[in-house]
Structure 1
Amino acid sequence: MGCCFLGTRCAETGGGLMSWLTRFDLDHETALAERINDSYAWHKKLWEAFPDVPDANRDFLTRIDATAEGFRIYILSQKEPIKPLWCPENAWAIKRISEAFFSNKYFRFDIKANPTKCIPFGNEDEKFKKRGKRYAIVKTDEQKAWIERKAEQNGFRLLEDYPLQIEQVQPSHFHKEDHSGFHIGARFLGVLSVIDKEKFIVAFQTGIGSAKAFGFGMMMLQPVNL
């Protein structure tokens, strides 16, 4: 599913502007020339779409999908991005998303997320536990339970009549200064029903789960009539 770009009611000009959704394609040769070789390199490079706010807190989401020719990149932001010089002119597509987009109750969704759980330190008898280490959730049944919890927390529920698909994605490696690591992701596809519109809009704007600065958490949505 291609997110809102395939939806017939994605870009609404009325009802109050909320977000900008940008999509562009980048070939392998350009990525290599720009030294974009891991998720942290993408993290830094996509900041160039917001040149006037280099020190601001990151308020946009990204998603990078591999294609046969290179990469397809999505950016969801509260500020209109500027096309970086290294992005091909004819590859840049942008749409506005207003509150009117969320008048629909049902959406197909496609979320590439980083499901994790935090294991606290200390024993069960302690009243307060220190923040523990975060571990990736890799079992499919636990990933299903994770997305169901996230749905409940963020104002929507998964429709059981439309089976949830869970696909494992390649680990996303990064090298940052003096250390390296990777994030393990899963792709969730299905149909949802909005229960709490305000919470749902916040989740759309801020993402689901962790590692959002590394290309995870964006909710790709397409309205459907059921």
Structure 2
Amino acid sequence: MYISMVALNTNDSYLQHQAIWSLFPSSLERKRDHLFRVENQSDTGKVTVLLQSSTQPNSSQNAEVLQTKSFNPQLENEDFYKFKILVYPTKCISQGKRVIEIHDKDDQVAWLQRKLKGANVNVTSMDNILVKSRKCFSSRYVCFEGILQITNAEQIYQALVMGIGRQKHAGAGLLSLAKAS
């Protein structure tokens, strides 16, 4: 895997999605094998994105790779990690036929704990972020930060690689971990 910092020229989540795809060679059989999260955003439309991908990205007309490095996480049971994740917490109602956003903070934390069931999660900070897209309505994402202790390294590794929740194409779901000292 690779972890990269990328510069984009748009605040719109749909155009960000297109710009991220432009970093990778096109193929008819290609599946999304990358996750990203907006890290910095300016009023002028400049955006810095953290990108995790299985293949190395290459700068394109729509996105500039600022730096990239190999990324091979080694997770251990019982270890503590600082985490950060931007997610779109939702729940299905009407027997899974309708999806709605979760607005209650306690329910949002419970949602995160269910998604990271291979770890004991302690949320220390949460922030709501409105993400705009010209393709669809705006969505309210939640940025969680905190400490987690891994109880099942394989489950957390899968969450790290695959991301969690909905709206991964729009910059949600990327779990970042740093060993707590």
**TM-score normalised to structure 2 length:** 0.88
Hey, what does 2:112 align to over in structure 1?
Answer: 147
Count of paired positions: 178
The answer to whether the aligner puts 1:42 opposite 2:5 as a matched pair is no
Q: Gaps spanning 5+ residues in structure 1: where?
A: 1-18, 121-128
Q: Secondary structure at the match of 1:82?
A: coil
Hey, what does 1:84 align to over in structure 2?
Answer: 60
Q: Is the 8 A contact 1:194 1:200 kept in 2?
A: yes
**Deviation for aligned residue 1:182:** 2.3
Per-residue deviation, residues 48-97 of structure 1 (Å, max 9, x unmatched): 11124364111111111333473110111111111224445xx6111211
Percent identity of equivalent pairs: 25
**Runs of 4 or more consecutive aligned structure 1 residues displaced over 2 Å after TM superposition:** 52-55, 65-70, 85-88
- Residues of 1 paired with 2:174 and 2:71: CA distance? 14
Q: What amino acid sits opposite 2:27 in the alignment?
A: V
Question: Which one has the bigger strand percentage?
Answer: 2
Hey, what does 1:174 align to over in structure 2?
Answer: 133
Q: Gaps spanning 5+ residues in structure 2: where?
A: none
- Residues of 2 paired with 1:135 and 1:66: CA distance? 27
**TM-score normalised to structure 1 length:** 0.72
1:147–1:210 Cα change, 3 Å = same
Question: Which one has the bigger helix percentage?
Answer: 1
Pick which of 46-55 and 70-79 moved more: 46-55
Q: How does 1:26-175 map to 2 (within 5 A)?
A: 26=8, 31=9, 36-53=10-27, 55-68=29-42, 70-88=46-64, 92-100=66-74, 102-103=75-76, 105-120=79-94, 129=95, 131-152=96-117, 155-159=118-122, 164-170=124-130, 172-175=131-134
Q: Is the 8 A contact 2:19 2:62 kept in 1?
A: no
Q: Secondary structure at the match of 1:181?
A: coil
- Residues of 2 paired with 1:210 and 1:194: CA distance? 23
- Residues of 2 paired with 1:87 and 1:43: CA distance? 11
Q: What amino acid sits opposite 1:165 in the alignment?
A: S
Q: Is the 8 A contact 1:47 1:54 kept in 2?
A: no
Q: What amino acid sits opposite 2:142 in the alignment?
A: A
Give the superposed CA RMSD: 2.0
**Deviation for aligned residue 1:38:** 1.4
**Deviation for aligned residue 1:145:** 1.2
